[in-house]
Structure formats: structure tokens, C-alpha cells
Amino acid sequence: MNKIKPHTLLLAEPRGFCAGVVRAIEVINHLLESEGPPIYSYHEIVHNKFIVENFKKRGVIFTENIIEVPKKSRIVFSAHGISPLVMQEAKKRKLRIIDATCPLVTKVHLETKKAARDGYDILLVGHRGHDEVEGTLGEAPTKTTVIDSIDEANNVSINSEKVFVVTQTTLSVDDTHEIIDTINQKFPNAEIRNDICYATTNRQAAVKELAKKADMILVVGSPNSSNSVRLMEHAKSSGAVAYRIEGIEEIDESWYQNVGVIGLTAGASVPDELLEPIINDLMQRGVKTIDTISVAQETIEFKPPDNLPVPKRNLTQ
Ligand code: SF4
């Protein structure tokens, strides 16, 4: 018999959308309104199934292969960034490009490019095959080695004094410290940039605080969203029972058994509208208290890409 029922909901702050995701989504919304479909997106604009499906319904075509895009089409590069080879091919096809790469990812590309130019061998700490890592790797493919684990950091061999380390923006803060420590021991003179972004850092810190108080934590986010998966791992490694879900439909009733305090957070690509039904449902189950566990207030905004076209209606006003 269930002795305890859900009575308190703790919301992590910050949670959900970051500035890079807001910018990328606004770019597509703007193009849909000003030019209409079809608009191509190279890769998922952000890693969230709900957002991608909604855009598909409105005429956005997502592609993993730039040569499938008809010449002169409108194309948006996703928040995760692209390799220079993709940019080259897009220009060759005379695609009308809007680059919605998050400025914090662009910063890693610039660091990588400069380090390669300055004669460094580069270690890119990140998840092999992730869109962002593939894009950064493309800046200096012959000079860069991807490091995906402590084992790989231990085994990497470089015959040079000049080692430069960059990271994917959405990694686990804790795991990355361990990998960087390992690299540091092997290459004491390595120049190290920790590029994990503010949004990833803040959301991980908040979920750790949540884990101190919640009996169970729900993390909303898609399985291919690196920062969402890291949130679930952080919740678990902080001692909480945690589940990652796309939305309310994936919640298993049995998770609520003997759970009094529930924590809720969401990855950086998750809209609030996926959290609202969960909160409403919990209130119907008897949750009376909703509190926020806050570790940071985020006020960062990124300006839109410079070449975003002016809506036609504004031109005629
Ligand atoms: Fe940019 Fe970080 Fe958001 Fe990725 S998670 S889009 S790097 S702010």
C-alpha cells in the first residue's frame, strides 16, 4: 500500500531553454513568418523531438546531408554548429545560409582554428559523433583527436610539446574535470580551455541541489540531447532516483509510489509547454506545495544572425 503520496514539487532553476536555443528557434520562426516554407535545417535545429516535429508540420525540412538540399534553397545551420566542409558545400550549391550556431559553440571553433594555425595538436574532449563535436573537429581534422573518456585521455599519444585542449559545451562538469586532470598529468604544459557553457553548468548545479531534497527527479529532454542526459546522470550520481522523459506520456505511474517530494528539471532545448502538463498532473495528484530551488538567474541573450532577412511586411511599412 502507498503510505506516501506526492505532496511537494521542487522546480530546478535554471531549467529549460538557454539563450542559444532561443536564438536558433527564433531564427526558424522568423524565416517561416517572413519567407514561408520550405526552409531547410541542417541537423535538428535543437535536440528536442517536440520542437523538431512542430517545425516539420510547418514546412521545415531537416536533413543530415547537405547535397540533398536543392540549389539556392534557404538553409539554417543548427545551434550545434557545422564543419567548414559543410559550409563550403553549401556555398557551392548557392544555398541561402543563415547560421544559427550558438555563439558559445562558435567560440570553440575559433579557438580550435587558431590553435591549429599556431602549430598546436588539439585534444577535443567530447562525445564522438555528436553534431557539435563533428563540427568542431572539422576545423582542424588532421590536428585534432577526440577524447571521449578517461581511458582515451590515458592512452592518447602526441609527439609534441604544444597541446591545446578544448571541450564540447554540454558535457558533464564533473566527468570533464576528471578527464582534464588526466590530460594535465600527461601533458603538464597543455593549454586548456574549459568550454562547458553557462547553461550546462547552471542546470547541472541546480539538479545537484534538487537531488539533496527530492525523493525522485524527472528530467525532461530528448535522448539525443547531451545536456539533458547529463542532467539525469548528475541527479543519479548525487544519490537521487531519476528518470529522463520526452514528456508526460512517458511517465510510469509506479514511479510515484511512496514518493513525497518530486524534483523537476529540463534540458536546455526543452520548452516550458512540456513541463506544464506534468505540473498540472501533479497538482491533481495532491501536490500542494511548489517551490523553486535556484542556483542562478540567467539573463544572457544572444543577438540574431546579422544576415537574417527583414520581414517583407516591414519593408512595405
Ligand atoms: Fe549554447 Fe550552451 Fe545552449 Fe548549447 S547549451 S546552445 S552551447 S548556451
Sheet containing strand 216-220, strands side by side: 241-245, 216-220, 261-266, 8-13, 289-294
CATH class of 8-17+198-294: alpha beta
What is the number of alpha carbons within 13 Å of residue 162 lying toward its C-beta?
10
The protein residue whose alpha carbon is closest to atom 1 in ligand 1 is: 20
- The predicted-structure confidence for 171-227, as pLDDT tens digits, reads as follows 999 999 999 999 999 999 999 998 999 999 999 999 999 999 999 999 999 999 999
Helix (H) or strand (E) holding 281: helix 276-284
pLDDT for the residue numbered 107: 98
The protein residue whose alpha carbon is closest to atom 2 in ligand 1 is: 197
Ligand 1: which of 23, 169, 228, 229 to mutate, most ligand atoms within 8 Å of CB?
169
- Please indicate whether residue 313 or residue 310 has the higher confidence score (pLDDT): 310
pLDDT for the residue numbered 78: 96
pTM score of the predicted model: 0.94
Instruction: Reply yes or no on domain 110-192 having CATH 2.40.10.120.
Output: no
How large a percentage of the chain has pLDDT more than 90?
94
Atom of ligand 1 nearest to the CA of 170: 5
Mean pLDDT over the full length of the chain = 95
- Helix or strand or coil: residue 72? coil
pLDDT bin (cut points 50, 70, 90) of residue 1 is low
Same fold, 8-17+198-294 and 110-192: yes
Pocket of ligand 1 (CB under 6 A): 18-21, 79, 102, 104-105, 169-170, 197, 199-200, 227, 268
Q: Where are the domains of the chain?
A: 8-17+198-294, 19-102, 110-192
pLDDT for the residue numbered 315: 44
pLDDT for the residue numbered 24: 97
Q: Which CATH architecture has domain 19-102?
A: 3-Layer(aba) Sandwich (3.40)
Buried b vs exposed e over 29-63: b needs ≥16 C-beta within 10 Å?
ebbbeeeeeebbbbbbbbbbbbbbeebeeeebbee
